Amino acid sequence: MVEWLINGLGVAGLWLAVECCLHRQTAESLEEASLIPFADDPEVARRVELATGKKVNAVAAQVRKPGWGRCQM
């Protein structure tokens, strides 16, 4: 019986923690956050836009500076 009570308190605590973290979020901000993993690769961002119809704010890939390539020892 005590185990059930502890498990129930754990689940309730987890639920309350998630609610506290997300209570100020809007549907738009959560949708934008779900697309962040695709933002660093413009090709993947374009494919996600075509597949979902949602705009992904892609960041251009960084160009490697001369001399910053492989280091041979």
User: In this structure, is residue 70 part of a structural domain?
Assistant: no
User: In this structure, is residue 68 part of a structural domain?
Assistant: no
User: In this structure, is residue 21 part of a structural domain?
Assistant: yes
Is the pLDDT at 69 greater than 80? The verdict is: no
The pLDDT of residue 53 is: 87
Structural domain boundaries enclosing 38: 2-52
The pLDDT of residue 60 is: 67
Burial level of 39, CB count in 10 A (0-12/13-18/19+)? middle
User: In this structure, is residue 18 part of a structural domain?
Assistant: yes
Number of separate domains in the chain: 1
User: In this structure, is residue 66 part of a structural domain?
Assistant: no
Q: What is the pLDDT of residues 6-63, one digit of tens each?
A: 999 999 999 999 999 988 889 888 888 888 887 788 888 888 888 888 888 777 666 7
Strand ranges, E, within 1-73: none
Rounded (5°) CA angle 53-38-27: 60
The pLDDT of residue 71 is: 67
What's this model's pTM, rounded to 2 decimal places? 0.48
The pLDDT of residue 10 is: 97
